[in-house]
Structures are given as structure tokens and as C-alpha cells.
Amino acid sequence: MTLKVGVIGTGMIGQDHIRRLTRVLAGVEIVGVSDLDRKRAAGAAPEGARVFDTPQSLIHSDAVQAVVICSWGPAHEEQLLECIAASKPTFCEKPMVTSEAAALRVIEAEVAGGRRLVQVGFMRRFDADYRRLKTVIDGGSLGAPLMFHSAHRNASVPPGLYTSEMPLNDTLVHDADISRWLLSDEIVGVEVRLPRRSRQGSDLRDPHFVLLHMAHGAIVDVEISVNIGYGYDIRGEVSCEQGVAALPNRPATVVSDVNGVRQSIPADWRERFIEAYDQEFREWIAAASAGTATGPTAWDGYAATLTADAALRAVASGGYERIEMIDKPGFYDTPQALAAE
């Protein structure tokens, strides 16, 4: 009953997933890896795993039952389409793809195949704090959600490497996805306001203040600060008709000393979401072992792409940028797809 997995891409995130799949999680075995840099692939391959020359040969190998894609974004579309063609359950790191057209091609192929195969790496949905928050909201005791306040704060980003598009392309997409999931709704419009610029990131555009307009009328505001220095601080508060529900402080020793009564804050996303990543793969292994996928779908990847694109347009226009999605294939509403949530 062990799931035999091939991993494409053995960079930082690929190596971390290899560690997770070999040392932390049960019911899974890595049987193959591939990377453009074959030497890096060989170094990352666990004992007994084969190093494939190409992603294609890995995907189509009979030894590989399921695939984890950790290559760079522009390569995802082709690899996903191959995986779908081979009917192999696939975990794909975000971004799923890098254009709306590519997202639609992936959706079309998956729908045509008749079985859900693609899981996209939005790990927040597997975080226990967000799950408890969703349970409270869905429970209905607070009434309908009307507003969601989301704060996404990074201690720092690498100067030079991190560009002014990335807060919207790489950071906002997490808040957008979790908003859709928490509120069980779609985003129909995006506005971006640029507050006074922080001097922490020299000439980087930071922070961003984003408004997401949801189909049923809820408004989401997102603070994105990427150089705030003090830690990686993810906040979320849902304001409902009859009450408010919020993410808690992360568990940390309560110290009373010369700095006051205090609790430490996670240093980065690895510390904050380490259990969420484990849980994400735990559920993927279970689903992939059953020949399918769970959690965030190709539809969610499509929505993320549209939101990031609209946010970038909104920076340029200064106005409200509308999002228009195709009709949602019934395929993505099946109990199968939603089961694990």
C-alpha cells in the first residue's frame, strides 16, 4: 500500500518535500527524481531512487504512481499535461501555471480525463488554525461573513531578487486562495492601494493594501508587508453579522521579563507552516493512493492566476479591476474533490 512517487525539480522546495516524504510521512516512497541539473537530482535522490533524464521519462515510468512537481513555474503546464495524459495523481507547487490560457488548458485536459488528478500547493488550507477558523465560520453561529481582514507580513525579502510584482504574484495569491476557501466564494474584482512606502526595502514597492471583492458581496482587505523586520506574521479576522473570528497567536512560551509579557513570532514561513506542509502531503498521499487528488484544484490555480493578473492591472490603473471566470465545470464541485476538506 506504499505510494511510489517521482519528484520533478530538486531545488530548495523539492529537497524539502523529499525530506518530508522520506522521513516524516507514512505510506509513501520516492522511486524517482529528475532535474535539469542532473547532478543536483542525484544528490537529492534518496537511496534506491532512480534519477530520470527528463520529466517525461519520470512521468511515464511504470515505477512511478504519482508525481510531485517542484520545477520552476513556466515548466509546470507541460508537465501537468503529461501527468494528466498519463492519468497520474500530481501535486504541483504554486504557481500552478503562469497564464490564464495555460490554466484553462490544464483544466480542460483534467476535465476531459474525467478524474481529478491535480492538487495545487496552497498549504494554508491544511493549517490547523485556518481550518479551525473555517469550522467556526461554516458553523454559522456568527451569521454570514461580511469582511475578512488578512495581514501577510514577512520579516524580509532578498533585496534585488524580490521585485515589486512579487507581493502580488507570489504573496497575495495565498491570501486570495484562503479568502475564497474561508468564505466559500469567488473573487470578482480587485483594487490595490499603495500606502506610504516603507524605507526598509529601499526602492521596493512595499507595503500593498489590497481589496478583494467577493461574488456574494463580502470585502477582503489584505495588508502585504514584506520587509517588516520583526517576523513572519500571518493574521486573519473574519467579521460576520453577529461576531468576529480570528486566527490565534501561534503557540509560544509566554515570557514575562524586561521586555514585558510576550510571545515569540515565527521567523519565516517554514516555521509557521511546517505542520501544514506535512498535513498537505499526508492528505495528498491518501488521495493519490486512491488514484485522485484533494484540496486545492486546478480551478483554484486558475483563480489565483486571474487574481494576481487583476492585481497587477489594478496597480497600473489605480481602479477596480474586474475578474471574469469561465463557467465552473461541475467536475470541480464533486464530493470527490471536496472530500478531504
Question: Which residues are registered as beta bridge partners of 119?
Answer: 91
Interface with a copy of itself includes 241 (CB under 8 A)?
Answer: yes
SS3 3: strand
Write the interaction track for a copy of itself spanning residues 28-67; mark x where CB under 8 A is met and - where it is not: x---------------------------------------
Q: Answer yes or no whether residue 203 interacts with a copy of itself by CB under 8 A.
A: no
- Please report, to the nearest 10 degrees, the dihedral formed by the alpha carbons of residues 332, 171, 81, 104 taken in order: 60
Minimum CB separation from a copy of itself for residue 22, in Å?
A: 7
Residue type present at position 86: A
User: Which 121-140 residues touch a copy of itself, going by CB under 8 A?
Assistant: 128-129, 132-133, 135-136
Closer CB to a copy of itself, 84 or 285, in the complex: 285
Q: Is 230 in the site for a copy of itself (CB under 8 A)?
A: yes
- Specify which residues 235 forms β-bridges with: 151
E strands, 169-232, in order: 187-193, 208-214, 219-225
At 123, phi and psi to the nearest 5? -75, -15
Specify whether the CB–CB gap between 233 and 271 falls below 8 A: no
Considering CB under 8 A, how many residues would be counted as binding a copy of itself? Answer: 76
Any contact of residue 188 with a copy of itself (CB under 8 A)?
A: no
C-beta closer to a copy of itself: residue 164 or 200: 200
Answer yes or no whether residue 25 interacts with a copy of itself by CB under 8 A.
Answer: yes
Distances (CA, A) of 78 to 81, 85, 263, 271, 326: 5, 11, 45, 32, 22
- Which one of residues 158, 251, 330, 335 is an interface residue with a copy of itself (CB under 8 A)? 251
Choose among 220, 159, 235: nearest CA to 188.
Answer: 220
- The verdict on 274 binding a copy of itself (CB under 8 A) reads no
Binding mask 207-226 for a copy of itself (x = CB under 8 A): x-x-x-xx-xxxx-x-x-x-
Which SS3 state, helix, strand or coil, does residue 7 take?
Answer: strand
User: Quick one: cell of 252?
Assistant: 509560544
| 247 makes contact with a copy of itself (CB under 8 A) | yes
Nearest approach, Cβ of residue 221 and a copy of itself (Å): 6
**Restricting to residues 57-116, which ones interact with a copy of itself according to CB under 8 A?**
none
Q: Does residue 259 interact with a copy of itself by CB under 8 A?
A: yes
Q: How far is the CB of 84 from a copy of itself (least distance, A)?
A: 28
340 belongs to the binding site for a copy of itself (CB under 8 A): no
Residue 328 binds a copy of itself (CB under 8 A): no
Q: How far is CA 242 from CA 212, 218, 304, in A?
A: 22, 15, 30
- By CB under 8 A, tell whether 228 contacts a copy of itself: yes
Question: With binding defined as CB under 8 A, does residue 5 bind a copy of itself?
Answer: no
The values of phi and psi at residue 236, to 5°, are -155, 130
Neighbours of 103 (CB within 10 A): 25
- Nearest approach in angstroms of CB 241 to a copy of itself is 5
Do 293 and 287 meet the contact criterion of CB atoms below 8 Å apart?
A: yes
CA dihedral 28, 32, 35, 38 (to 10 degrees): 140
Q: CB nearer to a copy of itself: give 78 or 278.
A: 278
Interface residues for a copy of itself in 139-168 (CB under 8 A)? 141-144, 146-147, 149, 151, 153
Q: Compare residues 101 and 194 and give the one whose CB is closer to a copy of itself.
A: 194
155-170: string of b/e by CB count within 10 Å (b at 16+)?
A: bbbeeeebebebbbbb
How many residues belong to the chain? 341
Identified binder of a copy of itself from the candidate list 86, 188, 265, 339, rule CB under 8 A: 265
